[in-house]
Amino acid sequence: MENDNKNIENAHSVHMALKDFHSAMITLSANDLANLHATDAIYEFALLTTGRPERYMGQMQIRNGFQ
């Protein structure tokens, strides 16, 4: 039963994180998107776009890159 509760809590946390990520992308909020990441996060792009780096290193670069 305890493991079931932890699985439910984890699923809820993942769902909320994805919901927050989706909301940040839909509203184009660089601040909300950056705030979802750790200060030392690495945000990599699966598909490269001309003029955009392969990755953003750190929360500040993520914020600045999406503004």
Which pLDDT value is given to residue 12? 78
Please list the alpha-helical segments (H only) found in the chain: 2-26, 30-35, 59-65
Owning domain of residue 15? 2-65
Number of CB atoms found within 10 A of residue 34's CB: 23
Residue indicated by tokens 């776009």 = 49
Which pLDDT value is given to residue 22? 96
pLDDT in tens, 17-47: 999 999 999 999 999 999 999 999 999 998 8
| Residue partners of 55: CB distance under 8 A and separation at least 6 | 42, 43, 44, 45
Say how many domains are in the chain.
Answer: 1
Which pLDDT value is given to residue 51? 85
Mean pLDDT to the nearest integer, 6-21: 84
> Which pTM does this prediction carry?
0.72
Distances (CA, A) of 32 to 6, 8, 9, 20, 26: 27, 25, 23, 8, 11
